[in-house]
Amino acid sequence: MKRKEIWRRYRTDVIALIIFGLVTSFTTIIYEVLLAGTSPGQWLGVRVLYNILRFAGAYLLGDLIEKIRAKLAPKGGFIRKALADACALSLYQLPIYFISALIMQVSLKSMIITAILYVLDNIFLGWVYGYTRDRVKTFFLKRQAQN
């Protein structure tokens, strides 16, 4: 794959992650600090590490989504694509969260509560990432065709 193509895919996934992060950031604060009992200092440290790693590997998330969608939603369909997106987001984000939380010495109980809430968050809001990713991808493809 050419560098330009890799850059286009990475750019698409980063933009979709930014928008998805804005949509889910409020709920993240609520369930990590208030429900899971993570201290504000730990939360901030986890967020910084987590976002650095998450955005650095955004291309991998896009690749994972493409592969899972090919298996779960080969003919499309909103529900199947949403499930594929939720699976991909959970498979991608949970290991990054655990690494970040371990480095920041978050308790195991808090990590488990947060992980469960992450999965639920991805089930209910993962479609936002997939939908945004598809729109951004379409936007850049149309723009490329015009040039």
Give the pLDDT of the chain (147 residues) as one tens digit per residue: 688 888 888 899 999 999 998 888 888 888 888 888 888 899 999 999 999 999 999 989 999 999 999 999 888 888 999 999 999 999 999 999 999 999 999 999 999 999 999 999 999 999 999 999 999 999 988 888 887
* Distance set, CA 20 to CA 24, 35, 126, 133 (Å): 6, 21, 8, 9
Q: Which long-range contacts does 53-57 make (Cβ < 8 Å, 24+ apart)?
A: 53/96, 53/99, 53/100, 54/17, 54/92, 54/93, 54/96, 55/14, 55/17, 57/92, 57/96
